[in-house]
Every structure is written in C-alpha cells, then in structure tokens.
A and B are shown apart, each in its own frame.
Chain A
Amino acid sequence: MQTMIKTEHLSKEYGGKKVVDGLDLQVNLKETFGFLGPNGAGKTTTIRMLTTLTRPTSGRVWINGFDGVKEATKVKGVFGIVQQHLSLNRELSVRENLDLHARLHHLDKAERKDRIDELLDYVDLAEYSDHLIEKISGGMKRRVMIARALIHRPRLLILDEPTVGLDAQTRRRIWDLIRRMNSDGTTVFLTTHYIEEAEALCDRVGIIHQGRMISLGSPLELRKRLGLAVVERRRGGDDTEYRYFPDRGSATEYVQSLLPGIERIVMRESNLEDVFVELTGRRVSE
C-alpha cells in the first residue's frame, strides 16, 4: 500500500518537555485518517511538523515520499491545510483570498480564474465571491478555507478541527465536502473533537495521548478491542460503572444477572468516545 504520510520516532521538545514523543505514524494514500487526542496531547504540534512550520527535535517525517525538513518546498506543494482558527485575510474578498493562494502555488492567470470559479461552485459560494471575508458567516468562512486548501489540487488535505464551532447543518455539509474530496482521490488527515465526525468520516483513527500514539485502527477495530457492547450501571450522582462486552448477547446475560430495582442500567453499542475515555481517562472534548 502506498504511503502519503510517514513519521519515524518523531519528537518535539519545548523547554525540555516532550510534546510529541517518538511518534510512528503511517497514513495510506487516499484514506481518511482521524487523529484524536485530548487538548495538549500533541496534535497541533504534529500537524505543524507535517506542514513544515515546526522542525522536529528528532525523528523524521515524509510527505508523499518527500523529507519534511530537507525537501520542505516540495512538501508544501503536496498538502493543503484548513487550520482550526480562521486564517483568512479578512480585508480581502472571498475571490481575492483564493487568488492569493493560487498565486503562491504558481497557477497561471487563466488557470487561477478557472480553478477559483470551479471551487466556488464546489463549496457553493459563487454568489459570495466578491464579498469581504469579514461580511460572511462562520460556516462560509470555513468553506472558503476548504476551497483555498484545494486550490492547487493537493494530494493530501490536512483538516485541523474542520467543523469546530459550526452548527449541525453546516457540519453535515462540510462532511459531504470531505467525502467528495476523498472520493476524488485526496488523502485526508483530520483532527476533531467531535467523535461522531471521526466515526462518520475516518477509515482509520489514531489516538494520541501525552505525545504518544496509544491506539491505532479502524473505528470498528478499536471498538472491538474494547468491546462492541457496553453496560452502564448508574448508581446515582456521577458514579457510573462501564462494563464492555464482545457482543450484545454477553452484555444481555450480564444485565439479567444483576438484581433488579436498585440501579439504573443502560445497555448500548460502544462508540469511539468509549474507546477514547478508556484509553486516556478523558473525554474527547476535554
């Protein structure tokens, strides 16, 4: 299988503290990979190293076979990125923001115009092309950032919390966009705080905690390792016990063995949030 992102013992230290600690990662061509971790786990630092903004303290990174340090300029031509924070020039129009990015990626004049028109249609913003960024909504800004990231037809799209702060309807719309980009052959690497986003979009998920990769696999594989069914015993207050079972049948047997009437019991399918909490001791949103 061809590899789009590869890291070997990738580490980054700030003031003697390892923020990323020996990360070994492999993201395959054309897959959608979810990178999950609590705040401060090292996700953003990893993305900064993948995108050449930050130099690793040790270890190596390759993007599409190019060395992330020695061949940084080639790497920059491979990926497009949608950062978590708004990173558009708010004093420029939608079209001008896209035009700037196209110029920086050396598209000629005719190609720039065609590509911008195509992408404005793609993200459904054609009628807002001459609006200043500061005059459009948060969801539209996010779509402009996605269009900008795609302007040079990157083979890898890095999305850092692509739907943070957006309403459910806009989030679904962006999910559709991400699926379309992936089906067009773009490899997608995304971080998210929304567990349902990772479950809906990702072929594989890596969970990073305290700078180390602690689990890796498809959402189903990760759930299977924990147990596909979960029983919650709520004893009042915040005291809830979670027990995981390989299937619904064994969970049902366990529930039937409990004395009735004393506790509230919930039986359900496990999800990535359960995996995440069991591995890190924290919820994804923390």
Chain B
Amino acid sequence: MTIIDAYSILWADLMVLKRRMARYLVTTLISPLLYLVAFGWGLGRGISVDGASYFEFVVPGIIALTAMNSSFNGAGTRLNVDRLFFKSFDECLMAPVSPLSLLLGKAMIGVVRGLISSAAFMIVALLIAPAFSVDPLFLVSLLVTCLAFAFLGVLAALLAKSHEDMATFGSLILLPMTFLGGTFFSVSQLPDALKFALYALPLTHSSTCLRAAALGQPFPWESLLAIGSFWLVFFVGCNLVLKRASI
C-alpha cells in the first residue's frame, strides 16, 4: 500500500510534468549547456586533468550538478508551491496515507525530473564527446544522487515558512556547492584541510562517482556510500520534520 500511495502522489506531479514536458526539456538544458560552453570550451580549452581532456573531465561534473539542481528543485520547489501557494499539501496530510508514502511520493518527482534532465544533457554530451561512457555504476551513482538531493529538496520545503526561505536555502547551500563540489576541478589536487571540507558536501561525492564511472577510472565506493548516507540523513530529517509539523 505504501508504494501504491506514493505512486498516487507522484502521479499528480507526473501529470503536470507531462503537460509541460517540451518546455521543461528546453529550460532544463540551458544551464548545463551554458556551463559546458563556458567551462568546457571556453576556460578549459587545452587543459587536461587526471589524464583526460578538461572537456571530458567537466561533463560528468555538470551531469552531477544538473542532477542536484533538477532533483532538489523538482521535489522541493513543487512541494513548497503545494504547501504554501496551492495549499494542496494539507489535502494529502488529511488523506489516509502513511507519512512514508507522502515523503516517497513527494521526493520521487524530484528523482524523475533529475533523471530526465541528466539524460537530456547526457544525450547532448554524448553527441559532443563520444568517449564519454555510461555504465551501470554511472547509472547507480546518478540515481543515488537524484534520491539524495530530492529528499534534501523535500526537507527544505517542509522547513520553509515562505517562498523566500527556499531561495535563501538555494543561495546558502546549493550555490556554494555548485562551484565547490568538485564539478569544475579535481578535489584531489587541493590541500588536505580544504579537501576534507569539500568532502562534507554531497555533490563532491556525486561528481567523484560519476566522473570515475564515465572516464573508466577506479570506482570510489566510499563516495557512493557517502551519497547513500546523505540520502539516509535527509530521509530521517524529512520524517522528523513531518512529525513535528503536526503540533
């Protein structure tokens, strides 16, 4: 029943996404393509990192970034709008479904959006850089990344008291992670103290996993475990906040 109820909640968001798919695909590609042009072709021309061209190096990072942004916003912004603008989230709270179904349903739309955005960018990236490889470890890393950031989005939306709170969360958490999470540079080249700080960011582990899988390097299992741990922490946080919401 939990999975069926979660799907029911996801179904409504899928209907909205289906209606806007063309627009969504266009808008979701703009940001990663701009990063690709600016960092891959612009700044990175002629540079090589960890034995690969900078272009090949940066593509998996941008995929991690796309997965993060689309999953976070896909789940978080949707839930924020449902809670504070449409006020339709109360209807879900008053339906005979478990909190677990509610959280899964609300997070899954983030996962779906994250996977669609990443897939769209990957298709473009494969056309430009055919050396780039997508293997099962790459897909698992991508899926766990989407799950972790979708639940982070749900957590932020449950905590937010206004639309501005979501924007503030984006500015304080997501934006620094965008540039510091190993997307555009190799964390391994940094001093230990800074490296330690950057490994506290989930995006660093996502970039590391996706890059290793895409470039055929030894796979960092500890980073995959770290993303899974972030997912678990965000999931537990969502449960606690949802329980506290009923006071």
A87 to B4, CA, bound (A): 23
Residues of B within 8 A of A53 (CB): 90, 93-94, 246
Count A-B pairs with CB separation below 8 Å: 68
**Chain A residue with the shortest CB-CB distance to B94:** A51
On chain A, the residues within 8 Å of B11 by CB distance are 100, 103
User: B86 contacts which of A76, A90, A96 (Cβ < 8 Å)?
Assistant: A90
Closest to B8 in A: A103
Q: Please give, as numbers and ranges, the residues of chain B lying within 8 Å of A88 by CB-CB distance.
A: 86, 88
Within 8 A of A (CB), among B1-57: 1, 4-5, 8-9, 11-12, 15-16, 19
A83 interfacial contact with B, CB 8 Å: yes
Q: Check B15 against A87 for contact (C-beta < 8 Å).
A: no
Which residues from chain B sit less than 8 Å from chain A, CB to CB? 1, 4-5, 8-9, 11-12, 15-16, 19, 82, 86-88, 90-98, 246-247
Asked if A92 and B12 make an inter-chain contact with CB atoms under 8 angstroms apart, the answer reads yes
Inter-chain contacts of A52 with B (CB < 8 A): 93-94, 246
**Smallest beta-carbon distance B162→chain A, Å:** 16
- Which residues of A come within 8 Å of B, CB atoms? 51-55, 73-74, 76-77, 79, 81, 83, 85-92, 96, 100-101, 103-106, 148
Q: Nearest CB to that of A86 among chain B residues?
A: B87
Contact of A87 with B12 at beta-carbon distance under 8 Å, contacts A76-B95, A104-B96 already known: no
Are B96's CB and A87's CB within 8 A?
no
Q: What are 9 pairs between A and B in contact, CB < 8 Å?
A: A52-B93, A53-B93, A54-B246, A76-B96, A77-B96, A89-B88, A103-B11, A104-B91, A106-B4
Complex contacts, A91 vs chain B, CB 8 Å: 16, 19
Q: A83, B12: Cβ atoms under 8 Å?
A: no
Contact B94 A100 (CB under 8 A): no
Q: 5 shortest A-B CB distances, which residue pairs?
A: A103-B8, A104-B95, A76-B96, A100-B12, A87-B87
**Given contacts A51-B94, A86-B87, A92 and B247 within 8 Å (CB-CB):** no
Contact A100 B86, CB 8 Å, known A54-B246, A73-B96, A81-B94: no
* Best-surrounded residue of A91, A92, A106 (most CB of chain B within 10 A): A91
6 extra A-B contacts, CB within 8 A, seeds A55-B246, A89-B86, A106-B1: A79-B94, A81-B94, A87-B86, A88-B88, A89-B16, A104-B92
